[in-house]
Amino acid sequence: MPATDPTARWNFLRSLHVLAFAIGPTGVYAAATGEGRPRPSAGFQVAKGIYLSASVALTLRPDEGFRIQELGGSRIAEGRYALGAGSITFTSARGDVGRTRFPLVCRVSGIFGGFQVNSGQPACRAFEGLSFRRAN
Protein backbone atom coordinates (compact mmCIF):
# COMPACT_ATOMS: atom_id res chain seq x y z
CA MET A 1 0.00 0.00 0.00
CA PRO A 2 1.56 3.30 -1.00
CA ALA A 3 1.64 5.68 1.95
CA THR A 4 0.59 8.56 -0.28
CA ASP A 5 -2.59 6.96 -1.69
CA PRO A 6 -5.44 7.93 0.70
CA THR A 7 -7.94 5.56 -0.97
CA ALA A 8 -5.65 2.56 -0.55
CA ARG A 9 -4.96 3.54 3.05
CA TRP A 10 -8.69 3.90 3.74
CA ASN A 11 -9.48 0.49 2.18
CA PHE A 12 -6.68 -1.16 4.15
CA LEU A 13 -7.83 0.33 7.46
CA ARG A 14 -11.45 -0.49 6.67
CA SER A 15 -10.55 -4.13 5.96
CA LEU A 16 -8.72 -4.32 9.30
CA HIS A 17 -11.78 -2.90 11.04
CA VAL A 18 -14.08 -5.44 9.35
CA LEU A 19 -11.73 -8.27 10.29
CA ALA A 20 -11.51 -7.09 13.91
CA PHE A 21 -15.30 -6.78 14.08
CA ALA A 22 -15.79 -10.26 12.60
CA ILE A 23 -13.37 -11.86 15.03
CA GLY A 24 -14.31 -9.64 17.95
CA PRO A 25 -12.72 -9.83 21.38
CA THR A 26 -14.54 -13.06 22.21
CA GLY A 27 -13.36 -14.69 18.98
CA VAL A 28 -9.74 -13.87 19.76
CA TYR A 29 -10.24 -15.11 23.32
CA ALA A 30 -11.92 -18.30 22.11
CA ALA A 31 -9.10 -19.00 19.66
CA ALA A 32 -6.48 -18.45 22.35
CA THR A 33 -8.21 -20.47 25.08
CA GLY A 34 -10.00 -23.16 23.07
CA GLU A 35 -13.40 -21.94 24.25
CA GLY A 36 -16.21 -23.12 21.99
CA ARG A 37 -14.63 -26.54 21.54
CA PRO A 38 -16.31 -29.45 23.29
CA ARG A 39 -15.51 -29.40 26.99
CA PRO A 40 -14.53 -32.64 28.69
CA SER A 41 -17.66 -34.49 29.75
CA ALA A 42 -16.72 -34.81 33.44
CA GLY A 43 -19.19 -32.72 35.40
CA PHE A 44 -21.07 -31.39 32.36
CA GLN A 45 -24.82 -31.94 32.42
CA VAL A 46 -27.31 -31.13 29.69
CA ALA A 47 -30.17 -28.84 30.74
CA LYS A 48 -33.79 -29.70 30.01
CA GLY A 49 -35.26 -27.83 27.04
CA ILE A 50 -35.55 -27.82 23.27
CA TYR A 51 -32.45 -28.39 21.12
CA LEU A 52 -31.86 -28.29 17.37
CA SER A 53 -29.21 -30.01 15.28
CA ALA A 54 -28.77 -30.03 11.53
CA SER A 55 -31.24 -32.91 11.13
CA VAL A 56 -33.39 -33.31 14.28
CA ALA A 57 -35.16 -31.42 17.03
CA LEU A 58 -34.76 -32.86 20.52
CA THR A 59 -37.10 -31.91 23.34
CA LEU A 60 -36.12 -32.86 26.90
CA ARG A 61 -39.26 -32.18 28.94
CA PRO A 62 -39.26 -31.44 32.69
CA ASP A 63 -41.22 -34.68 33.31
CA GLU A 64 -38.20 -36.63 31.92
CA GLY A 65 -39.96 -37.43 28.68
CA PHE A 66 -38.19 -36.85 25.36
CA ARG A 67 -39.28 -36.30 21.79
CA ILE A 68 -36.99 -36.53 18.77
CA GLN A 69 -38.38 -35.27 15.49
CA GLU A 70 -36.72 -35.36 12.09
CA LEU A 71 -36.49 -31.86 10.64
CA GLY A 72 -38.15 -31.70 7.25
CA GLY A 73 -39.49 -35.22 7.64
CA SER A 74 -42.14 -37.16 9.47
CA ARG A 75 -40.15 -39.51 11.72
CA ILE A 76 -40.81 -39.04 15.45
CA ALA A 77 -39.71 -41.02 18.50
CA GLU A 78 -40.74 -40.47 22.11
CA GLY A 79 -39.79 -42.01 25.40
CA ARG A 80 -38.04 -41.36 28.72
CA TYR A 81 -34.58 -39.97 29.45
CA ALA A 82 -32.18 -39.55 32.35
CA LEU A 83 -29.42 -36.95 32.55
CA GLY A 84 -26.08 -37.77 34.10
CA ALA A 85 -22.67 -36.16 34.31
CA GLY A 86 -21.56 -36.13 30.67
CA SER A 87 -24.34 -38.40 29.41
CA ILE A 88 -27.96 -38.73 28.34
CA THR A 89 -29.70 -42.10 28.64
CA PHE A 90 -32.77 -42.67 26.46
CA THR A 91 -35.18 -45.45 27.50
CA SER A 92 -38.66 -46.76 26.72
CA ALA A 93 -38.64 -45.35 23.21
CA ARG A 94 -41.53 -45.85 20.82
CA GLY A 95 -42.28 -44.55 17.36
CA ASP A 96 -39.77 -44.38 14.53
CA VAL A 97 -36.81 -45.98 16.27
CA GLY A 98 -35.68 -48.34 13.49
CA ARG A 99 -33.25 -50.96 14.81
CA THR A 100 -31.98 -48.80 17.67
CA ARG A 101 -31.76 -50.73 20.92
CA PHE A 102 -32.66 -49.17 24.24
CA PRO A 103 -31.54 -48.09 26.74
CA LEU A 104 -29.36 -45.83 24.62
CA VAL A 105 -26.54 -44.13 26.53
CA CYS A 106 -24.87 -41.20 24.76
CA ARG A 107 -21.78 -39.46 26.12
CA VAL A 108 -21.90 -35.72 25.52
CA SER A 109 -19.64 -32.69 25.84
CA GLY A 110 -20.67 -29.11 26.42
CA ILE A 111 -20.26 -26.56 23.65
CA PHE A 112 -21.31 -22.93 23.55
CA GLY A 113 -25.11 -22.86 23.54
CA GLY A 114 -25.64 -26.60 23.83
CA PHE A 115 -23.89 -29.94 23.64
CA GLN A 116 -22.23 -32.32 21.21
CA VAL A 117 -22.65 -36.09 21.11
CA ASN A 118 -19.17 -37.59 21.39
CA SER A 119 -17.87 -39.79 18.60
CA GLY A 120 -16.74 -43.39 18.94
CA GLN A 121 -19.96 -44.70 20.48
CA PRO A 122 -21.38 -47.59 18.45
CA ALA A 123 -24.54 -47.69 20.57
CA CYS A 124 -25.20 -43.98 19.96
CA ARG A 125 -24.39 -44.02 16.24
CA ALA A 126 -27.62 -42.25 15.25
CA PHE A 127 -26.47 -39.06 17.02
CA GLU A 128 -22.69 -39.47 16.78
CA GLY A 129 -20.95 -36.16 16.16
CA LEU A 130 -24.16 -34.11 16.12
CA SER A 131 -24.13 -30.71 17.81
CA PHE A 132 -27.33 -29.59 19.50
CA ARG A 133 -27.97 -25.88 20.14
CA ARG A 134 -30.56 -24.73 22.64
CA ALA A 135 -33.64 -23.34 20.89
CA ASN A 136 -35.50 -21.97 23.91
Q: What percent of the chain has pLDDT over 70?
A: 68
Please indicate whether residue 71 or residue 21 has the higher confidence score (pLDDT). Answer: 71
Structural domain includes residue 130: yes
27, part of any domain: yes
Enter the pTM of the model: 0.67
> Distance between CA 121 and CA 118 in Å, rounded?
7
* Within-domain flag for 43: no
Question: What are the pLDDT digits (tens) for 35-85?
Answer: 444 444 457 899 999 999 999 999 999 999 999 999 998 999 999 999 999
| 74, 115: one domain | yes
Asked if residue 92 lies in contact with residue 78, where contact means CB atoms within 8 angstroms, the answer is no
**How far does CA 28 lie from the centroid of its chain?**
21
Same domain, 9 and 55: no
The Cα 30–Cα 39 span in angstroms is 13
- Do residues 66 and 17 both lie within one domain? no
Nearest-5° Cα angle at 85, 81 to 89:
25
Pair (111, 56) in one structural domain: yes
Total count of domains within the chain: 2
Both 26 and 57 in one domain: the answer is no
pLDDT, tens only, 23-32: 344 443 344 4
64 and 111 in a single domain? The answer is: yes
Decide if pLDDT at 19 tops 80: no
Same structural domain, 75 and 121: yes
User: pLDDT band at 98, cuts 50/70/90?
Assistant: confident
Residue 63 in domain: yes
Is residue 39 situated within a structural domain? no
Domain encompassing residue 122: 49-134
